[in-house]
Structure 1
Amino acid sequence: MKSILFSIHSQITSFSKSERKVAQYILDHPQQVIGMNADTLANRAGVSAATVVRLAKILSTDGFPGVKIQLSAETKMDDSLYTEVDPKDPLNVVKQKMEFRIGHTIEQTNLTLKDKAVSQAAQLISEADDVYAYGLGASSIVAADFQQKFIRIGKPVVQTMDTHLIATGIVKSGTVLVLVSNTGETLESQKLADVAHEHDVPVITVTHDEKSTLAKKSDIVLVHDDSEENEKFRTAATTSLMAQLYVMDLLYYFYISMNFDENVGKLKESRDVIQKHFK
């Protein structure tokens, strides 16, 4: 079950002004809210009962009763885990926070990522003669991870930060372009998507925003969660990076399962080559 308190914490800036009042009251008084009805909570938060009902539907498919059930399951949890890293936190608390956040992000990614999109992306990659992968900044790590995984099972993948090289490489048929962008607003990725479309090359994008500019330019969008998006203190990509890597892992394992015996054989060949010549 996903953490409703962490969901509220990470989404609160996207709520309306009146919804934020309810959300903040829930964060401040989770145990008390369990024993309230919608009218009581509305009165305490200074909003209408309709606002409480509306926010509850955003947070839970079961509405306000569902919110209270989830709150009751979380009241014994240390609420400091929902907050960002504090300079006073000892290492064991940082560990707990990261474990909680990463687990929550993967759980949410499982809800946002569509099975059909993963299947379609794997099929496109399977049929392609060549695959190009690009990501900027931390997303380049994900693109590199994608490359090393698929090369080991015999799928040619070019991953580079050189956008000119990718642009010239994707002009031929039988090619697929894989783009990784957390926000979906990276200009370099958008330009590469434009080049791909000019040459009828399908584009697969990994992003947390399916309404982003890049997502709209893509044929298949693999959507992941990013609970860091609304954080005030974001020193680097952490849970967003883990979410992107998780999406790539899912795509990789689904691809293997499509031709399991053949791909397992290629993995064995790759392992044998490494062991023979480099160990």
Structure 2
Amino acid sequence: MKNHLLFSIQNKLSSLSSAERKVGVFILEHAKDVIEMSTEELSTKAGVSPATVIRFCQSVSNEGFTAFKLKLSAESMVDKKLYQEINPRDSIEQVKDKLSLRIQHTIEQTNQKLSDNSIQQAAQLLKQSDRIYIYGMGASNVVAEDMTQKFLRVGKTVIHSLDHHLITASLSAQHENSVLFLISNSGEKQESIKLAKMAKELHVARIVMTHNANSELASLSSIKLIHDTSEENKTIRSAATTSLIAQLYALNILYYSYIVLDFDENIDKLSASHKIVRDYF
């Protein structure tokens, strides 16, 4: 899948060093010109050292400057406004184009970050567990609710609540052969961290879905499911939308990986569930 280099630069600017940020800003404003530049020329234009240009390319694309320019040339004709945040002057068509670009980028980044091995381990753990406890706050609760209805339909016992006290009480009483599934974009929500600590003390396996592999919550996990690294924007917060999409996308990969572990049996359960709902409602 194609990776959107210019969007990656825009998305990572705030996490770069001040010198590398100068390179990124210059490239975003002069993408076509940079294709024809040498490392020395770009460093002079951006006001940094040639070594900074090399470090920037490694930070953004894990490649050298020549390979970086090849990727850049493929995107040089794209309207750079598409990589900017949504603003009041945008037409509906521009909003569509910006969001579709971000969503595609989010899915591509999630495919790179989400470990196949972690998905397989999580699916097996969910299969072997008698009970699944699910917790997520804010937008992550949307994903928690989606996960709840999905796994209920294939016959799993699922306990989901926004009340972390209720989760704590229930898990402490029925922790044998249970698994705790925590969803947190930042991985730093104290309620989720405390639940993970409690579950660890009870020797309950913890599956954590987050974008922050270095978060405290991730460090408390048995299995980490890492999705894209979109950052929150302080105005319209389109990244909040794409992070939710990343979580839902990662969840569906996990769900279908679970389904195929016992495909015929799970399909029969889904069909029976669908028939009951159709017949009575």
Query: By the TM > 0.5 criterion, same fold?
Result: yes
What is the identity percentage for the equivalent residue pairs of Structure 1 and Structure 2? 47
With the length of structure 1 as denominator, give the TM-score of the two structures. 0.96
Q: Spell out the pairing of 1:9-48 with structure 2 (5 A cutoff).
A: 9-48=10-49
| 8 Å CA contact retained: 1:226, 1:239 | no
Aligned to 1:196: 199
Residue aligned with 1:66, SS: helix
CA shift digits 1:54-104 (9 cap, x unpaired): 111222243111211111111111111111110111111111111110110
Checking the alignment, whether the CA contact within 8 Å between 2:86 and 2:236 is kept in structure 1 is: no
Shift of 1:206: 0.6
Q: Which of residues 195, 205, 209 is equivalent to 2:208?
A: 205
Report matched runs for 1:4-83 at 5 Å.
4-83=5-84
Does the Cα contact within 8 Å between 1:228 and 1:234 map onto a contact in 2?
Answer: no
In 2: Cα distance, 1:10 partner to 1:227 partner: 7
CA distance in 2, matches of 1:159, 1:249: 18
Show CA shifts across 1:138-174 (max 9, x none).
1100000000111111111111111111112222211
Partner SS, residue 132 of structure 2: strand
Is 1:226 matched up with 2:226?
no
Aligned to 1:167: 168
- RMSD over aligned Cα, in angstroms? 1.1
Matches of 1:110 and 1:208, distance apart in 2: 12
Question: For each residue in 1:104-123, what CA deviation from the matched residue of structure 2 results, as whole angstroms up to 9, or x when unmatched?
Answer: 00100000111111111111
**After TM superposition, which residue ranges in structure 1, 4 or more long, deviate above 4 angstroms?**
none
Q: What is the CA-CA distance between 1:234 and the residue it aligns to?
A: 4.0
Equivalenced residue count is: 277
Q: Provide the C-alpha distance between the structure 2 equivalents of 1:28 and 1:119, rounded to a whole number of angstroms.
A: 42
Which consecutive unaligned segments of at least 5 residues does structure 1 have? none
Cα deviation digits, residues 220-274 of structure 1 (max 9, x gap): 1111113233x34244720000000011000000001111111111111111111
User: Which one is further off, 53-62 or 137-146?
Assistant: 53-62
- 1:137 aligned partner, one-letter code: G
Contact 1:226 1:243 in 2 (8 A): no
User: What SS class does the counterpart of residue 260 from structure 1 fall into?
Assistant: helix
